Amino acid sequence: MSRWCAGALAAALLFGAWAPARADLFRPSREDQVKLGQRAAEQVRKKEKVLPGDDPHVVLLRRLADRILRQLPEKDRSPWRFSFDVIESKEINAFALPGGPVFFYTGLLRKLSTEDQVAAVLAHEITHATHQHWASAYADNQKRRLGLVAVLALLRANRAAFDVASVADDLLFTLPYSRRHETEADMVGYDLMTAAGFNPQGMVEVFDLLRRATAGGKPPEFLSTHPDDAARIRRIQDRIARDRRSFPAQTPLPWQPEELKPKSAK
Ligand SMILES: [Zn+2]
C-alpha cells in the first residue's frame, strides 16, 4: 500500500469514526434553541406591531393552540417555551422561531375562514419547533459555510463549536427549511390537528387558498420550499382518504374576514 493510499485510508477511517458526532457538532442544544427563540421573539415584539393579549384574534389563536399543544407527546413537550402572537401586517404568513414562539400575521388570518384552517397552520408551525427544524437547518448551514476541512479540524480539536451569542440575528429569521422538514411539519401537523379534533380538510384548503393568494409573489413560509404545491395538497388529500376516522364539520371563525383588515395608518 502506497503512503498516499494509507493516508487516504486512515483519513477515511477517521472520518467514518467521526461521522456520527459530526451530525451534532453545530446543532444548538434544545436549551440553546429556547434561548435563541426568546431572543428573536423579543426582537419581533420590538419591531412589529404585535396585538395585545385581549385582542379577539389573539384570544382565538391561543385557544386553538392550547388544544393542539395538549396533544403533543411527552417527548415533544419540554423544554420548549411556546407563545402565540399576532402581528398586524398585510403579509400573508406565519412563522415559528426556535424553541416555540409562533407568530401569525393578520394578513394570513384575514384570508382564513375556519378554525380548522388556522389549526392546520398552527400544527405545522408547532412541529417545526418540536422537531428542531431550525437547529438542523442551522447545523447544515454552518457545515456548508465552513467546509469539510474546517469541520474535521474542529472535531480533532474536540471543541464545542456552538455558542448562543455567536448566532447572527439574520440566521434566526432567514434560514430556509428543507423540503423534508416541510413534509414532516405537514404530516406530524396532520396527526396533531386531527388528534385535537380538527377537520384535516382545513389543511387542504389552507394550502390551496395560500397558493392562489400568493401566486406570482413571494410564497409564505410553509410554501416556500415546495415547488410542487399540487403534489403536497394531493398527499394530504390521500391521507384523508385513507384515514378511517370521521371528522367533525369545520368551525367557522367567529368574525367576518373583512374585519381583520389592518387599520389604515394615519
Ligand atoms: Zn413550514
The mean pLDDT of 13-24, rounded to a whole number, is 48
At 92, is the secondary structure helix, strand, or coil?
coil
Q: Is the pLDDT of residue 15 over 50?
A: no
CA–CA distance, 102 with 65 (Å, rounded to integer) = 10
- Residue 108 CA, ligand 1 centroid: distance in Å: 14
Q: Is the pLDDT of residue 204 over 50?
A: yes
* Cell numbers placing 193: 390537528
Least confident span in 34-38, 176-180, 236-240, 260-264: 260-264
Of 164, 159, 155, give the one whose Cα is nearest residue 135: 164
Q: Is the pLDDT of residue 3 over 60?
A: no
- Residue 221 CA, ligand 1 centroid: distance in Å: 6
Higher pLDDT, 153 or 35: 35
Beta bridge partners of 87: 50, 105
Least confident span in 36-50, 53-67, 149-163, 175-189: 149-163
Least confident span in 5-9, 28-32, 64-68, 112-116: 5-9
CA–CA distance, 86 with 93 (Å, rounded to integer) = 11
At 95, is the secondary structure helix, strand, or coil?
strand
Of 205, 177, 191, 160, give the one whose Cα is nearest residue 72: 191
The mean pLDDT of 16-38, rounded to a whole number, is 74
CA–CA distance, 1 with 11 (Å, rounded to integer) = 15
The mean pLDDT of 137-141, rounded to a whole number, is 86
Say which amino acid occupies 53.
Answer: G
- Residue 121 CA, ligand 1 centroid: distance in Å: 9
In contact, 93 and 87? CB cutoff 8 Å: no
pLDDT value at position 100?
A: 97
- Residue 171 CA, ligand 1 centroid: distance in Å: 16
Confidence of residue 197 (pLDDT cuts 50, 70, 90): very high
Q: Is the pLDDT of residue 224 over 60?
A: no
Side-chain-facing half-sphere of 237: CA atoms under 13 Å = 11
Confidence of residue 154 (pLDDT cuts 50, 70, 90): low
Higher pLDDT, 2 or 117: 117
Higher pLDDT, 70 or 8: 70
- Residue 103 CA, ligand 1 centroid: distance in Å: 13
Q: Return the percent helix, strand and coil in the chain, to nearest 5.
A: 60, 5, 35
Q: Give the model confidence (pLDDT) of 118-131 as tens digits.
A: 999 999 999 999 99
- Residue 17 CA, ligand 1 centroid: distance in Å: 33
- Residue 25 CA, ligand 1 centroid: distance in Å: 24
Q: Is the pLDDT of residue 217 over 80?
A: no
Q: Give the model confidence (pLDDT) of 81-111 as tens digits.
A: 999 999 999 888 899 999 999 999 999 998 8
Q: Give the model confidence (pLDDT) of 47-90 as tens digits.
A: 999 999 999 999 999 999 999 999 999 999 999 999 999 999 98
- Residue 228 CA, ligand 1 centroid: distance in Å: 14
In contact, 21 and 143? CB cutoff 8 Å: no
- Residue 122 CA, ligand 1 centroid: distance in Å: 10
pLDDT value at position 55?
A: 96
- Residue 52 CA, ligand 1 centroid: distance in Å: 25
- Residue 13 CA, ligand 1 centroid: distance in Å: 37
Least confident span in 18-22, 47-51, 182-186: 18-22
- Residue 95 CA, ligand 1 centroid: distance in Å: 8
Percent of the chain whose predicted confidence (pLDDT) is above 70:
76
Selection from 69-78, 167-176, 212-221 with the highest mean pLDDT? 69-78
- Residue 3 CA, ligand 1 centroid: distance in Å: 49
